[in-house]
Amino acid sequence: MAQYSTTLDDAFQALADPTRRAVLSRLGTGPASISELAGPFDMALPSFMKHIRLLEKSGWIRTRKVGRVRTCTLDTASYAAVENWLLTQRDVWEGRTDRLETFAASIRIEEKEL
C-alpha cells in the first residue's frame, strides 16, 4: 500500500509540468530520441534531461541507449495506476449522486402517495 501510494505520488508529480506532459504526448505517437524530444523546447540539455529522468523514475517512460543515441518509449503502467485512482474516485461520488437521486425519487413517490 505504501509502495502503491509512492508510485501514485511520483506518477502525478511527473504530470505536474507542461514540458513533461508535452514529452508524454509526443511519445504517444511513437518512440523518439532525446534530441528529437528536446527539439521543440527552448531549454538547456541538462535541464531537459532532468525531466526525462523524472519521467523514467516515475515509470512513465523507458529509455534505451544504442551507440550514442538514447531512445525513449512510453510506458503505460503509470497511466493505468493514475486512471485506476481517478475511476475509483468517480465511482465513489457518482455512487453517492445515484444514492441521492434514489433517495429524492423515493421522497417524490411518498409525496404522491400521501
Runs of H (alpha helix) within 16-76: 18-27, 34-38, 45-57
End-to-end CA distance of the chain: 51
Backbone angles phi, psi at 95, to 5 degrees: -60, -40
In the complex with its own copies, the residue whose CB is nearer, 52 or 78, is 78
Secondary structure (3-state) at 59: coil
* 33-72 positions binding its own copies, by CB under 8 A: none
106 contacts: CB under 8 Å, gap ≥ 6: none
Cβ 92 to its own copies, closest distance in Å? Answer: 4
Cβ 101 to its own copies, closest distance in Å? Answer: 14
Q: Which of 36, 83, 98, 101 binds its own copies (CB under 8 A)?
A: 83
Stretch that binds its own copies, among 13-21, 32-40, 41-49, 102-110 (CB under 8 A): 13-21
Under the criterion CB under 8 A, does residue 12 sit at the interface with its own copies? Answer: yes
Nearest to 59 by CA among 8, 103, 105: 8
Which residues form the interface with its own copies (CB under 8 A)? 5, 8-10, 12-13, 15-18, 21, 24-25, 28-30, 74, 76, 79, 82-83, 85-86, 88-90, 92-93, 96
